[in-house]
Amino acid sequence: MQLTVTGKQLDIGDALRGHVKSSLDAILAKYFKSAIEAHVVLAREAHLVRGEISLHIGRGIVVNASAALDDAVAAFDAAAERVAKQLRRYKRRLRDHHIKAREPAEAVERARDYILAPVVEEADEEDPDGAPTVVAEISTELPRLTVGEAVMRMDLAEAPILLFRNSANGQLNLIYRRSDGNIGWIDPELDPDRGRSSR
């Protein structure tokens, strides 16, 4: 596993780097055996230290967790415990995913992910129609998943939203985290005559 440990306004010594590596290795050995890469960022925020972990464990599967506490080791340990909890919760499904990943892969569907600058109230000289400026354009994989698998991936990545192709009906679907904590699911029925299939 490729490991990157970064400190923002914080010095990362060899002891802390060793603690991060041994903790992540122990979590992976217990729940998942291997990972592709891991990024750990420890950043000072006022009187707290925020520990953020991003663990890429398989094709299209990223686990994110963060915590803010008084010191760097405690912040990392709390974030690592959240990673372990997420992996424990989804262990069976992740193993099933790995078995599926070993089978011949179907063609990967790609999509464009755009990052837009905030819209200003007044149109500027460069763009008189007031359209937002594209800051970045990224090619991303559009996964073919069941609704349950999509919810798992969204939870693991701590993402607010996930667009996917529903493997039950082949349509584009969207799941999102609602403000009340529940998960919303948008399944547009493009053809009104199409019968609803079981999910």
pLDDT digits 0-9 by tens, 97-130: 544 554 445 566 777 777 777 766 655 555 556 6
β-bridge mates for residue 136, sequence order: 115
Mean predicted confidence (pLDDT) in 15-32 = 90
**60 vs 103, higher pLDDT:** 60
Q: 139-198: per-residue pLDDT in tens? A: 778 888 999 989 998 888 888 999 999 988 888 999 999 999 899 999 886 655 655 554
pLDDT band at 199 (very low <50, low <70, confident <90, very high): very low
pLDDT at 15: 93
Residue 67 has pLDDT above 90, yes or no: yes
pLDDT of residue 69: 93
Tokens of 63: 């686990």
Task: Give the global pTM.
Answer: 0.67
Give CA–CA dist 49/73, Å, rounded. 9
> What residue ranges define each of the domains in the chain, with the CATH number in brackets?
2-99 (3.30.160.100), 109-186 (3.30.505.50)
Q: What is the pLDDT of residue 195?
A: 53
Q: Is the pLDDT of residue 46 over 60?
A: yes
pLDDT per residue as tens digits for the range 75-84: 999 999 999 9
Q: Which pLDDT score, from 0 to 100, does residue 100 have? A: 54
